[in-house]
Structure 1
Amino acid sequence: MKFVNVAITALTMARSVSAFAPSLASRSPAFIKPKIRSNAFTCSSLNMAQVGRLTEPAGQMLDKTDVFIFDCDGVIWRGDSVIDGIPETLAKLRAAGKKMYFVTNNSTKSRAGYKKKFDSLGLDVPAEEIFSSSFAAAAYLEQTNFKETGKKVYIVGEVGICEELDLIDVPWIGGPADKDKAPDMGPGGALPHDKDVGAVIVGFDRNINYFKIQTAQLCINENE
């Protein structure tokens, strides 16, 4: 039984970008194996708050940095609004030939969903540059050959995880479909659950309920 908690930090994802799903590159244009072998600069709302000002001229930093890794919420956008200066900054970095990757620990959207978000803000960001925790969960299952087990995944989370699992043809249950369900005690007090679930993925879920918690723990504790 696998348990995958996708609530990982954007910084952890940034450090692991090159390790996600090496076999996925040949399966779908949306899956890539980035080769980061040069200096990289990570930008998150946390380190932006900690750094008061650059300690070296901006030109020098740009000259020696080939890859920029950005968090999304609070760095690229705030809510449904792009942060001032971001379009110009990204355009200048692209014009300078810099590689950019955008990471987020929000699993409610897939990379396709985040692509639509970037588009809605007028930002031309290809799906290949987007790394969400929903993708990271799917990539982990792909790396560990989960599909070959013939098992299903139970999802405590939202549509982003579902869409990423669909891309790698891994069957799943749960997710948004379970938002209105209530815990059920079967005959004799038995708690029914799907015995074919071989992994539970838990991400941010705005419709968390006791049924999902019950099902997830039963799959983890009772299934092989």
Structure 2
Amino acid sequence: MAARLSTREHYADLLDKYDTWLFDCDGVLWQGDRPIEGVVEVLQMLRKQNKAVIFVTNNATKSRPNYKKKFDVLGVEAHVDEIYGSAYASAVYISSVMKMPKDKKVYVIGMPGLEEELRGEGIQCVGGSDPADNVLGGFSLADWTPDPAVGAVLCGLDTNVNYTKLSKAFTYLQRPGVAFLATNEDSTYPSAEGLLPGAGAVSAPLRFALGADPLAIGKPKQVMLDCIRAKHDFDPKRTIMVGDRLNTDIEFGKAGGLATLLVLTGITKESEITGPNASSTVPDYVTSSLGDLRALF
């Protein structure tokens, strides 16, 4: 059973136990473009206590430098080397694990931030924000010549997804040897006004058409944690993952041997962690909001 945190003593004990703090962003630090109350002060307090702070997000719409801009606008201190998104992890996976040859290309269903991270790793990409792919209306194979250099299809959250992109991706994926990748499989995306379909929903038509699942790279997959470990030295026993979603954030932390803290300001609701229909994924700790740690000061 998860430990419920509510008193100053609870939060002081948490602070004493963990030196490295990993945070999801959407639903934990902010909702849309609004910071969650108290988050800025809590993060400042952690830094003053010499805690390592790392941000781990499945959102692949922004590159790390652009994420840094969002942190700046919201008044949250963050450095580019502290930010790990599934776009960056996907680029690292393709370049360092798949070791895709430099003459090969990735067909992208996703936003400019995903393309930016791929190019930063020296990976050529097509699709994505290309105006030729961002059109409405019918699509005909007779009017398009596939690029023979495409060796992978990568799906992320794409607010401009359309039949043209899906058709091109499907055509490439029917070729032998073309890898099917997804930045993450989040079913939903929390905006300030409510839930919207997530990256998993974007790749779903391709999964149905192909009868095959992509290799997912973001949380809860350990590729993300491997990327962090490559840059940051930390003791898993003194590290905690703070998130708002059981099937990504909390499972990610548990799979990596980290402690987990669930906040209820995002996806997961109280009914999912209590009662007869509670999830089998149980966090180590639960608190209403990250801002609750203000009880320490």
Asked if the contact 1:157–1:203 (Cα under 8 Å) also holds between the matched residues in 2, the reply is: yes
Asked if the contact 1:152–1:197 (Cα under 8 Å) also holds between the matched residues in 2, the reply is: yes
Structure 1: gaps spanning 5 or more residues: 1-49
Structure 2: gaps spanning 5 or more residues: 178-297
**1:53-101 CA deviation, whole Å, 9 max, x = no partner?**
2596222221120111111011111111111111110011001010111
Aligned residue for 2:93, secondary structure, equals helix
Change (3 A) 1:51 1:72: farther
TM-score, length-scaled by structure 1: 0.71
Matched, 1:69 2:58: no
Give distance in 2, aligned partners of 1:183 and 1:174: 14
> 1:169, CA displacement in angstroms?
1.4
Matched, 1:183 2:136: no
Q: Decide which of 210, 217, 222 is 2:163's aligned counterpart.
A: 210
**1:106-145 CA deviation, whole Å, 9 max, x = no partner?**
1111111111100111112001111111111101112225
Matched, 1:126 2:79: yes
Aligned residue for 1:206, secondary structure, equals coil
Between 1:139-148 and 1:160-169, the stretch displaced more is: 139-148
| Structure 2 equivalent of residue 159 of structure 1 | 112
Change (3 A) 1:199 1:123: same
Between 1:76-85 and 1:144-153, the stretch displaced more is: 144-153
Matched, 1:111 2:64: yes
Change (3 A) 1:221 1:165: same
Change (3 A) 1:89 1:136: same
> 1:148, CA displacement in angstroms?
2.6
Matched, 1:83 2:39: no
**1:1-31 CA deviation, whole Å, 9 max, x = no partner?**
xxxxxxxxxxxxxxxxxxxxxxxxxxxxxxx
Number of equivalences: 172
| Structure 1 equivalent of residue 151 of structure 2 | 198
Aligned residue for 2:107, secondary structure, equals strand
> 1:165, CA displacement in angstroms?
0.8
| Structure 1 equivalent of residue 287 of structure 2 | none
Asked if the contact 2:102–2:122 (Cα under 8 Å) also holds between the matched residues in 1, the reply is: no
Change (3 A) 1:90 1:121: same
Give distance in 2, aligned partners of 1:84 and 1:51: 22
**1:171-218 CA deviation, whole Å, 9 max, x = no partner?**
10000212116512318xxx6311110011000111111111111111
| Structure 2 equivalent of residue 53 of structure 1 | 5
Give distance in 1, aligned partners of 2:70 and 2:104: 32
Matched to 1:122, the amino acid is G
Identity of aligned residues (%): 40
Give distance in 2, aligned partners of 1:159 and 1:51: 41
Aligned residue for 1:61, secondary structure, equals helix
Give distance in 2, aligned partners of 1:51 and 1:77: 24
Asked if the contact 2:61–2:113 (Cα under 8 Å) also holds between the matched residues in 1, the reply is: yes
Give distance in 1, aligned partners of 2:99 and 2:170: 19
**1:144-165 CA deviation, whole Å, 9 max, x = no partner?**
2534352001001111110101
RMSD value, Cα: 2.0
TM-score, length-scaled by structure 2: 0.54
Aligned residue for 1:101, secondary structure, equals strand
Aligned residue for 1:186, secondary structure, equals helix
Between 1:206-215 and 1:146-155, the stretch displaced more is: 146-155
Asked if the contact 1:197–1:223 (Cα under 8 Å) also holds between the matched residues in 2, the reply is: no
